[in-house]
Amino acid sequence: MHKSLFFGSLIILLFLGCKHHCVNDETTETTSYIPTDYSLSTNWYQNGKDINENLIDVFYILPTCVISSIDTNTNKESFTADLNNYEQRTNMNRSYELANYIFADSANFFAPYYQQITLNGYFSSEYDSARNTAMSEIKRSFQYYLDHFNQGRNFILAGFSQGGQGVVELLHYMSDETFRNMLAAYVIGYKVTKEDTISSNHFKAAQNETDLGVVITYNTSSSPETIMPLVHTGNLFCINPVSWSTSEEPAYLNDSVTITLDNTNHLLILHGLDAQAFSPQDLSQYFPLGSYHLGELTLYQEQLKENIKKRSYPKQ
């Protein structure tokens, strides 16, 4: 991995986490939901590339890019993102730039803007309402993609953090016919639970770097004690994205960093990096020291980029 690219991408993620509005907790309420119109090109990330019929597609879902959002009509907090807010859109675009680098190198890249749950929304009494809005947006955008963009091509689902939650939602939502065209689903920095596997046959854990119709899932921490419960509790799946193995043999990310799969806790254990860089002080209430959640894309960006190619074009 190029050192400059790694730290540049890390700065992008930390910047996304630190940009927010101050909110008075005494003035919180949800806003009425107006569905996003996915027939408008402005509601899709544009990377300037034309669709190549010889490539597979990646449908990618953003992580949480907004800590809090203010309803301009009521001047009170909304627990879903405002897609008309320039600052929030800018944060989403910065996150999309990293995802585009990883997932669009060898694929057509489709990525919707959606009224995502704000970080504060995950810890509010309005979570269920905010979740319903965000997941409805994700399912509607995916259906629009299938109806208007996909044209029968094989595709990959991918999402990080809240985006990984969205991928899990889509695996439940999609028909078996659609699932047959899915090469793999990358649930990055989120969980697959026993309930998921019981309620749908679309959840099969990846075992290596080329198996198909599988779910690639991992969470990274310095120890089991420093996991983020929100994205990990109940998780059944985990694969090491450095070795693309489910063995507990340590894999070297670089000369000083090792990634070891803990199969008891379905967790990646990282040694050799400064955990403080991944848990900024103003976000410590969300990201415990020792959690590498903010780095789940940046840490393994080169491995993910190459793995997309191997799963999508096995004969090349």
Condensed to tens digits (0 to 9), the pLDDT of residues 12-61 reads 344 343 333 333 333 333 457 899 999 999 999 999 999 999 999 999 99
DSSP β-bridge partners for residue 69? 78
Q: Count up the domains in the chain and report the number.
A: 1
Residues 253-281, mean pLDDT to the nearest whole number:
92
Residue 316 has pLDDT above 80, yes or no: no
Q: Quick one: pLDDT at residue 73?
A: 75
Q: Is the model's pLDDT at 179 over the cut of 60?
A: yes
Residue 11 has pLDDT above 50, yes or no: no
Contact in structure between 124 and 30 (CB atoms under 8 Å): no
**Whether the Cβ atoms of residue 292 and residue 257 lie closer than 8 Å to each other:** no
pLDDT per residue over 227-251, tens digit each? 988 999 999 999 999 999 999 999 9
Say if residue 288's pLDDT is above 90.
no
Residues 6+ apart with CB under 8 A from 110: 44, 57, 58, 59, 60, 145, 149
Q: Determine contact, residues 113/107, Cβ cutoff 8 Å.
A: no
How far is C-alpha 131 from the chain's CA centre? 15
Do the beta carbons of residue 274 and residue 280 sit within 8 Å? Answer: no
Per-residue pLDDT at 280: 76
Selected residue with higher pLDDT from 74 and 132: 132
Give the alpha-carbon dihedral of 157, 134, 68, 87, to 10 degrees: 60
Q: CA 108, CA 51: separation in Å to the nearest integer?
A: 6
Find the domain containing 280 and state its range. Answer: 3-312
